[in-house]
A and B are shown apart, each in its own frame.
Chain A
Amino acid sequence: MPQVSLTVNGKQHTVEVEGRTLLVELLREKLRLTGTHVGCDTSQCGACVVHVDGESVKSCTTLAVMCDGASVTTIEGLAKPDGTLHPMQEAFREYHALQCGFCTPGMVMSAVDLVAKNPQGLSEKEIREGLEGNLCRCTGYHNIVKAIAAAQDVMHGKRETVAAAAE
């Protein structure tokens, strides 16, 4: 069986997998990082989004073997080691941008990449378009859009906290 060595949330792992093992299966079943979810089988829903070498990726559409040598960040690794939430996590809580929580990890990971890739700042319309790869059935997205708008100001250093942005 192929072996994969990769860094996940800063920790080095070497794992035996099948060729067909998906990255999400490696994370959930081998490393027991169950924060990354699977919501569909057609690469539509984005519940499985993680960062591979800093970019958002659908881990249900990526083979584990393709990630040999890669650095992966999952929702479990987004907060600081002391537990301080990432501004995007903080904003989701502040704006009630989650209900059942199932799409949330993928939504947050996508949103972090979306904001990071657009340092010029995103309009409401652009945020909505930027979420094309993530489905949520609970919130109607409205509060998710608001949360991302607030978090981008913090991530781009325009505001101190998401709560301040909420003013």
Chain B
Amino acid sequence: MNVVTPFEGIGASVKRKEDLRFLSGRGQYTDDINRPGQAHAYILRSPHAHARIKGVDTAAAAAMPGVAAIYTSADLAAIGGIPCGWQIHNKDGTPMAEPKHPVLAEGKVRHVGDPVAVVVAETRQQARDAAEHIHVDYEVLPASVTMAQAQAPGAPAVHDDNPSNLCYDWHIGDKAATDAAFAAAAHTVVFETTNNRLVPNAMEPRAAIGDYDTTTGEHTLYTTSQNPHVIRLLMGAFVLQIPESKLRVVAPDVGGGFGSKIYHYAEEAIVTWAAAKLGRPVKWTADRSESFMSDAHGRDHISRAELALDAEGKFLGLRVHTQANMGAYLSTFAPCVPTYLYATLLAGVYSTPAIYAEVKAVFTNTVPVDAYRGAGRPEATYLLERLVDVAAKQTGFDKVELRRRNFIPTDAFPYQTPVALQYDSGDYFSTLEQALETAGWATFEQRRAEAKARGRLRGIGISTYLEACGIAPSAVVGSLGARAGLYEVGTIRVHPTGSVTVLTGTHSHGQGHETTFAQLIADKLGVSIANVDIVHGDTAKIPFGMGTYGSRSLAVGGSAMDKAMDKIIAKGKRIAAHLMEASVEDVEFERGTFRVAGTDKTKSLTDISLAAYVPHNYPIDEIEPGLEETAFYDPKNFTYPGGCHIAEVEIEIETGEVRMVNFTAVDDVGRVINPMIVEGQVQGGVAQGIGQALLEGCVYDSHGQLISASMMDYTMPRADDLAPVSVATHTTLCTHNPLGVKGCGEVGAIGSPPAVINAVVDALRDYDISHVEMPATQEKIWSIIHGKR
């Protein structure tokens, strides 16, 4: 798909502008930054899942070489806790339980990895050396490790003032209508599953550097963040009480995020606070082992789903009960993930008329759980797409036909679901047919027979999915409990000679914004991408922004740029009209050229920008000099990418090993700006989805010790675990944003897990099973084949 068109605007597979610096080692990630005189922080973390802190003795450690300071929660008494950005209300209208999340543990530790003390020293090694001499007197308490344990009568309370360990008990949909649908059903199908807890593991571990200018009182935080303005807001307003004007947050090159770098973390507040306290920069960089116990984890649901069908296989109703693990504290977006990013997706691509979902969020003595690539939508899609396969098997309908029969018709858009969302566009039939064709669905049985002859069980699995991204209209998310708006900001600065600098509130950490966004500018303003620079990740440079997550950068951030370009063009037309002595209404603009309609009188964008900055011949009484415009774009709706994923696997009978042999993705991501980058995003998302389905699983033991605590034990997908992924797109345009784009960052991770598990279950069709839980590890499969279950 590496088609390079001579044009570098929308639709061209332009090579990435950012690649040269990354390929030559000149990227600048947070840990690459060193500030003059900087000290190093090491965080002493809890080795226990749950313990009371009876005392902390830092005297011996303080005397160690190189130690500048040691801090515990007593030193932080004046600062606030880490805020949660989303408030969910219970069924009865009361707000969710929202326990304090202290920066350093106060009185109790609540998960392995909970930060207890900070050592600041001249070197990282010295800080760590000294930390070993801090004596923490723990009274180890029994832990609520699983959600079942946490909800049992008399369970250890993660937070002493909340003995139920319940964060919220929430619901959505029409219960009575759903009950009625079940009463009238010809078939009912039940499916229960656990959506496995994952550790995000972006390749760059988190890092943070605090800096403080004693003369101006200005704080600077360099951090591995997907959204520096959000961090400034949360940390400045709620934790450290620093006004925005005195707090600069810089998120330089960031080595992957996948959600885990959205949240405001304790370490950011610690280094910012300590730098001011000590009057010198303080740097912290996580070891990978630390990442495992301090980065927010993902997924971790236990669900029961019931589907009611009529005699013809039409879905009549869907009932879902889900328990969602919050971990020990509420991470920034945690409460909205299993509610508004999950239950609202349960209609999927189907016209199910009645849906009712209940979600209980539970505190446990584990690392906090929050959004990870897909965030709620992979959990919903997995539940639904496995349920449909189970239903097909139970009722005897063909699994493809059953899906087709229940698709929302292509002419039914906009389509209002029973769970709040209104889909603007989609064409699930086309993506399905295209994927079936590409994957060779019709000829699969031949491949299965051929594999059998080699001692392998071959299976094929399908998932027809949809997701909601481009989050989202501020008024809507506000009514649902968000404590922030979710608009985006773009500034277009046309310089005197016509080159362009774009300031965006989104953040690129692998998505290639420096290229894609430049293509938007090239396409509309006619400026070569070589002359367009995209600036992001610095609150001192960018007016404002909400950052990058939920596949929103193009749909929301790109739309803001588009709106700002409209303003540039409008002003440019007025200047052009003056220069060409025409009326503004008669000036047209297309890709860099202003023209008086119907004439050959033209002015280039450069003519206009030069006139704007050197306003000698200029309507100075009517128009301000300069050519720079800012737009805030608040989306009108979510966007709804969707499509069809088909996985083909082979199982080694003797050992239970599952091998990916083929994967087909046909996705509708709206208008495609850079096909090469879209393909890369889908491939990467699918790899994470395959990882969840076959390899990855976060495991705690019964005491709350993290067993999968390093890459020695947590299976990260490697090159030889994966197979080539065929990626294609089929476009229907988003109807409510100016670019017609939907978003492609998460579709791979959302659509793929059920396709893979459906394939595994299909491969095992000769064995008496209806389901295999993720991850479908080789021992699990071997146990099924050899009857050891």
Show the binding face of A for B, using Cβ within 8 Å. Answer: 18, 20, 28-29, 32-42, 44-45, 47, 74-76, 78-79, 85, 89, 92-96, 98-105, 108, 124-125, 127-129, 131-132, 134-145, 166
Contact = CB atoms under 8 A, between A and B. Distances in A.
26 contacts: A20-B125, A34-B31, A39-B288, A40-B288, A40-B710, A42-B711, A47-B203, A92-B19, A96-B680, A99-B510, A101-B21, A101-B22, A102-B29, A127-B719, A128-B718, A128-B722, A137-B202, A137-B688, A137-B716, A139-B680, A139-B687, A140-B684, A140-B685, A140-B688, A142-B722, A142-B724
B25 A102 contact: no
**Secondary structure class of chain B's binding surface, majority of residues:** loop
Given A34-B32, A41-B289, A101 B27 contact: yes
B676 interface: yes
A35 B27 contact: yes
A96 B287 contact: no
Given A100-B254, A131-B720, A138-B510, A41 B15 contact: no
B682 to A, nearest CB: 9
A125 B679 CA distance: 21
What 3 A-B pairs have minimum CB-CB distances, sorted nearest first? A35-B25, A102-B255, A101-B22
Contacts of A76: 24-26
Given A34-B29, A103-B255, 8 more contacts: A39-B255, A40-B288, A75-B25, A89-B23, A93-B20, A132-B719, A137-B684, A142-B683
A137 B256 contact: yes
Given A41-B289, A99-B511, A138-B510, A132 B718 contact: yes
A104 to B, nearest CB: 5
B686 interface: yes
Interface of B: 2, 15-16, 18-29, 31-32, 34, 125, 201-205, 253-256, 258, 287-289, 509-512, 676-677, 679-681, 683-688, 710-712, 716-720, 722, 724-725, 748
A92 B16 CA distance: 11
B23 A108 contact: yes
B225 to A, nearest CB: 13
A98 B512 CA distance: 10
A101 B2 CA distance: 20
A89 to B, nearest CB: 4
B716 A135 contact: yes
A48 B677 CA distance: 26
A95 to B, nearest CB: 7
Contacts of A20: 125
Contacts of A18: 125
Contacts of B26: 35, 76
A32 B512 CA distance: 26
Given A92-B19, A128-B719, A135 B24 contact: no
B288 A98 contact: no
Contacts of B712: 42, 44
A105 B25 contact: yes
B718 A101 contact: no
Contacts of A38: 31, 205
Contact of B258 (A45, A103, A137): A137
B253 A101 contact: yes
Nearest to A47: B203
Contacts of A85: 23-24
A33 B510 CA distance: 22
A79 B26 CA distance: 12
A90 B680 CA distance: 17
Given A99-B256, A99-B680, A41 B288 contact: yes
Contacts of A41: 287-289, 710
B693 to A, nearest CB: 14
Contacts of B719: 127-129, 131-132, 134, 136, 141, 144-145
Contacts of A124: 724
